[in-house]
Amino acid sequence: MSEPLQIITAVIAGISLIANIILAFRQNTINNNFEKYKNELEKKTYISKARFDTEFLIYRDLSLLIINLTYTTADCACIFEDGNFTLKDYEERYNKASNSCLKAFTALRQNAPFMPENIYLLFSNLIEQCKAHLNNFFIYCIKPHDQNTDYENLEEIKEAILNYKKIQNLLDNTMTELRKYLNTLNTVN
């Protein structure tokens, strides 16, 4: 073979080799980007816009009820801390908080089929803690006005009433987890 032909063949082979290296590098980059994209997609849940809107309304309404419940429950503890209130004041606060508890519990149960179990359990636990808190409030603040009341553990109940910060922390945790869940949802049009 002539020398120019060998040079041309070598140049073509070199260009081909460089092109193959560039293509392999690009293909590797594309594959890596695809894997990253695929991993991100797997973290998301795709639902219809109508379903998302419905779920969003459920969580918004339930959140409002839960926040009202935690605030009315905390209000019972605050009135207790102040200490200068009548039985009627205690009963009004208790009744308001009890009604909030019933509304939140009812809404949670009505919407249970439409919620992931972990979110349902977070809301349920928060409601149960509020119920226990209200029960302690009733025992310590309302029931003692009945002359036949004799409780051995009133100091423990008093401490439980004053520990309403636990409920506030549960509320914060529940809302954080709900935000995380909602961030995993994407709508498909």
Q: How far apart are the C-alpha atoms of 58 and 114, rounded to whole Å?
A: 9
Q: How far apart are the C-alpha atoms of 142 and 94, rounded to whole Å?
A: 9
Global confidence as pTM: 0.69
- Of the candidates 186, 75, 86, 65, the one whose C-alpha atom is nearest the C-alpha of residue 137 is 75
Higher per-residue pLDDT: 162 or 170: 170
Convert the pLDDT of each residue in 82-95 to its tens digit.
Answer: 667 778 888 898 99
pLDDT band of residue 146 (cuts 50, 70, 90) is: low
The predicted model gives 106-113 an average pLDDT of 94
The predicted model gives 104-127 an average pLDDT of 94
* pLDDT above 70: percentage of residues in the chain: 77
pLDDT band of residue 72 (cuts 50, 70, 90) is: very high
Terminal Cα-to-Cα distance of the chain (whole angstroms): 64
* Residue 40: pLDDT over 70: no
What pLDDT was estimated at residue 149? 53
* Residue 44: pLDDT over 60: no
Residue 86 identity (one-letter amino acid): T
Structure tokens at 12: 């073509």
What pLDDT was estimated at residue 142? 76
